[in-house]
Every structure is written in C-alpha cells, then in structure tokens.
Amino acid sequence: MIDLPLALGDDSEDLALEEVEQAIPVPNVESVIERLKATQCSCGGAILVKGHALRRRAPHLYWRLTLGCAADVVHETTMVFRADWLST
C-alpha cells in the first residue's frame, strides 16, 4: 500500500477536473507499462518518465506521470491514469 499525504477521503487540490475526465483507467501496473511503451514523444523519439505523483479525487486514485523526451528535455507532457488498484 502506498501512503498518501492526505487524510482518507480528502481530494487533491492540484488535480484538475480536466485531468480526471481524461484519465486512462488501468487495472494494473502492466497496463501502464503497455501504454507507455506505445507512447512516443511529439518529435518521434522515445519517452522517459521524469516524475510521478499520486492524487485522489474521491472515490478514485490517480497516478500522474510527467514524461519527457529521451533526446531532449524540452518536450514534456503528462499522462494521468486512474489507478484504484494502488490503494489496495
């Protein structure tokens, strides 16, 4: 189980509604890995996970990944996954 710096039921203030609406539901970490393998940077290069954060918007848990280009740090984007399995 991953500890969150929030009391049970508190929503993350820095998780935008747009991120919640566009979050990709995944059943396990293998699904996240498959999505990342299929993702390329806007320049066509490989991506690297530069950072991650867990966020909550009741009743779900979200995993926000910051992605960058393996060849150039200028290209950055985020992917948000609905990952309720992280709380079990």
How confident is the model over 24-64, as pLDDT tens digits? 999 999 999 999 988 887 777 788 898 999 999 989 999 99
Question: Has residue 63 been placed in a domain?
Answer: yes
Q: What is the pLDDT at residue 47?
A: 86
Q: What is the tens place of the pLDDT at every residue in 15-25?
A: 999 999 999 99
What CATH number has the domain bearing residue 41? 2.30.30
Question: Has residue 72 been placed in a domain?
Answer: yes
What is the number of structural domains in the chain? 1
Question: Has residue 60 been placed in a domain?
Answer: yes
Query: Domain range spanning residue 61?
Result: 17-87
Return the higher-pLDDT residue of 29 and 8: 29
Assign 3 a pLDDT band (cuts: 50, 70, 90): very low
Max mean pLDDT among 1-5, 70-74, 83-87 falls in 83-87
Question: Has residue 8 been placed in a domain?
Answer: no
Distance CA 35, CA 23 (A): 12
Question: Has residue 32 been placed in a domain?
Answer: yes
Closest C-alpha among 53, 56, 62 to residue 11? 56
